[in-house]
Chain A
């Protein structure tokens, strides 16, 4: 074996090819990668490109837990992966997956004990263990949750806890697989700060991630994978602006996309390289047009042409307000049996052809409101009308003719043997004629690009594809309102593009879409009305295009501003 690989380079892969047992195609092809100590190396690529496999390989789970054929040399912190069991490798490398819930050990009753669990197993002396647990809790900002049950946390909190639990083990190498999947923007910024601080302490970090804007902020190096092979490897500013990323469906970070459009329109200096961060984008736009009103934060300024949001002035939307609402919430109050008052006088009308973003911090009442749209929850006071009928006098199944809801955890939804059967389930429940069921099913399959997997079991698909199946299954119910809870979680650039086209098509057919999401940029690009919830009330209800300064500040303080709006906020 090569001597270089034996030295203590944290991650050293040479010509690694790995094929999962039973698979026909390799998941990693001829990958050579050396990551020096203290580097934050991001791995990007489409869903199924091999990012998770690479993370699992660096922690030894490939090939010791997920079996298959491994060729080439993989050495982590001086240990050849192939010949060292996971039980030994855990002292050298920690792996954190994207689904936080299933990484909770289940053996500990508080967050504090959960974070200590790995250290107990490593036999760390108690005093040192306590110090490390305290440090990890502080580093991830979950100190105040220490006495809570791991199962009583929100998804974002659980994610931070499992990262804290891995960090407490103080591995020289940390492999994170989509760590931001369940985080809101403030938590993502905190995680970036934590990773920078760890890297300064010499910890090597490999992080697989879809959110390229976050990668641009956090990574010191970016590796792009395409169908298991290295596509690009280098500095973020080079890799993230590489045209091949767009060709292969990985996409660019939003600031790069915006600048590229500005360049095409002659508003970006031809000799200036494309930016990857908002700060550089703003600087570049200012340099190209220092006197533009769109850059100086004036209220009511028309949307700059550098961004291509929905202009929201088409005919369909202007007549929307005259039509009968699909759902009307009228002064709705709701209190959970445990006494939490989740909705406090919410009034909202959803009309045909509307594209609505429902945003707010965790616990603001978004999920409770979502469950009032189809009668899963019924108002304690006030009333909810679905298709003109009070939800207290009807069943959820009847509301489902008007409103389809795709919940965030698609595992709760999928059960059929094939993708096609799964999609047929909803329209069959609604009692449509067989021909109509067939037509709706096939249309939904095409809308979500699932034709090639229609006969597969939904659970045999990668998680991102599974989410598309769940959306198709509700889309096929042909409801006038489609409500999606965090639809972009875990989706790659191509799938998000698919979703945007779907939303456009629905609006053009006078169907409405309501999206609950932390992804404020997606909301801005795909939707036009924004409803901000705060403490069980609607704090803001308006169109992205018409937000005044106070409204933008309200949005900014709770969920952050879309990049395109932030640009106009930057003072010259």
Chain B
């Protein structure tokens, strides 16, 4: 019996098991347990949530492996962790540690301005951020098993994630009526193999699981993006920057689950704790935006 590890099917399959779920940013084992109890499908182990990374400035790097390890020991659900864009050595460390998925993330300071990580070399699956179809397909071609919108992390403002969802969907829809020549031109424009573009045209969706991330702060935010067609949501600062994290966590899980049932979303929204304050994107300087990193 030949046993295979780290195949595309195993990596993409892992991402499929997350569908319909909420993945929550946590910084301590206690927070991870709160997330698990609320019904999170996985947690993202971090040293600081994006809102604090944004505030702190400086170079944001992979979290201390000791913190990630403590979180891994505290919960039974999968644990993910972030490495810097292009920083394959951080990714190797995270793989050696045994995290279940690596987020090559623009929330951290990019390490390589030219190349993303060659994710095919890893046995552990990767998730990458993308603002449009071209970015999404480039990351999938590099071996990403899951794509998430970038949104604008740490702002508690959904507007950028919505822009990325709508743009990606529109670009996929446009592929439907294209001739082979036009699809080949698109493949050149996106700098990916034409087979990948054709597969996307045929499926009329990304060929991997697609989550929303960056700016989700309330249950209604989660319900909105699920209705727009993503497979699940990441919630970063939105839970542990609210005034009552366990309740906010559970409410977002409920709203994600019942996204198409306004009565249930209403129930989830009722008597909610104070959400994070949030930032108007228009007040951000261009160099303060995280989403432009790693395209």
Decide whether A and B assemble into one complex: no
Residues of A in contact with B (beta carbons under 8 Å apart): none
Residues of B in contact with A (beta carbons under 8 Å apart): none
